[in-house]
Amino acid sequence: MASDLQSLLNSRHITDPAIIGIHTGGAWIAEQIHRQLRPEQPLGTLNITFYRDDFTRIGLHPQVEPSNLPFSVDDRHIVLIDDVLHTGRTIRAAMNEIFDYGRPASIILATLVERSGRELPICADVAGERLSLEAHQHVKLTGPDPLELLIQESK
């Protein structure tokens, strides 16, 4: 996944990207990618809880770490990383949040797993794995050490 991402960055002539991981699983993956690619910018993390579109349906989620973007987003090429791309709503929320920090030059989406079930027109630029799953199947990443992918069946 890191080498695919590096190739994509090279093909787009992006030399100074900022990596942002979405809490919680995306931040775990982003940490590893950041270690491998060693960009100049420190790692950023996003907590998209306050940007979810299902707040009125499911209430406030238990809190995780706050967002931390230790660089200016303006005119920067962003690599947004999450563990699983499913409906696309998390990525939409993350992009909304990023735009509240500034106007990036571009956003590349990299996910460990891109699975079926999209509800919004969002796709990954780089995916570690592409899975076609039934609606009742769920992919879950456990971690941070070791990172493990599980496919669960819901009733």
Partner 1 sequence: MKRQDIQCDSQGQLRHFLTIEGHKRETLTQILDTAENFVTVGNQPVKKVPLLRGKTIVNLFFESSTRTRTTFELAAKRLSADVLNININTSSTSKGESLLDMLHNLEAMHCDMFVVRHEQSGAAHFIAQHVAPHISIINAGDGRHAHPTQAMLDVFTIRKHKPDFTALRVAIVGDLMHSRVARSQIHALNTLGVPEIRAIGPCTLIPPYLQQMGVHIYNDVREGLKDVDVVIMLRLQRERMDGALLPSELEYFQTYGLTQEKLALAKPDAIVMHPGPINRGVEIESSVADGPQSVILEQVSNGIAVRMAIMSMVLGRKPSGEEGEA
Which residues here bind partner 1, judged by CB under 8 A? 47, 49-52, 54-63, 66-68, 82-87, 89-90, 96-97, 100-102, 138
Which residue's entry shows tokens 């100074």?
16
Q: How far is the CB of 93 from partner 1 (least distance, A)?
A: 9
Give, in order, the Cα–Cα distances in Å from 61 to each of 47, 50, 126, 129, 139: 11, 9, 28, 28, 19
Q: Which of 148, 114, 118 is nearest to 128 (CA)?
A: 114
**Nearer of residues 4 and 100 to partner 1, judged by Cβ:** 100
**Nearer of residues 75 and 100 to partner 1, judged by Cβ:** 100
Q: Which of 77, 67, 1 is nearest to 39 (CA)?
A: 77
DSSP H helices in the chain? 2-11, 25-37, 55-58, 89-101
Q: What is the dihedral of CA 18, 66, 142, 16, to 10 degrees?
A: 0
Q: How far is the CB of 12 from partner 1 (least distance, A)?
A: 26
**Nearer of residues 1 and 52 to partner 1, judged by Cβ:** 52
**Nearer of residues 39 and 102 to partner 1, judged by Cβ:** 102
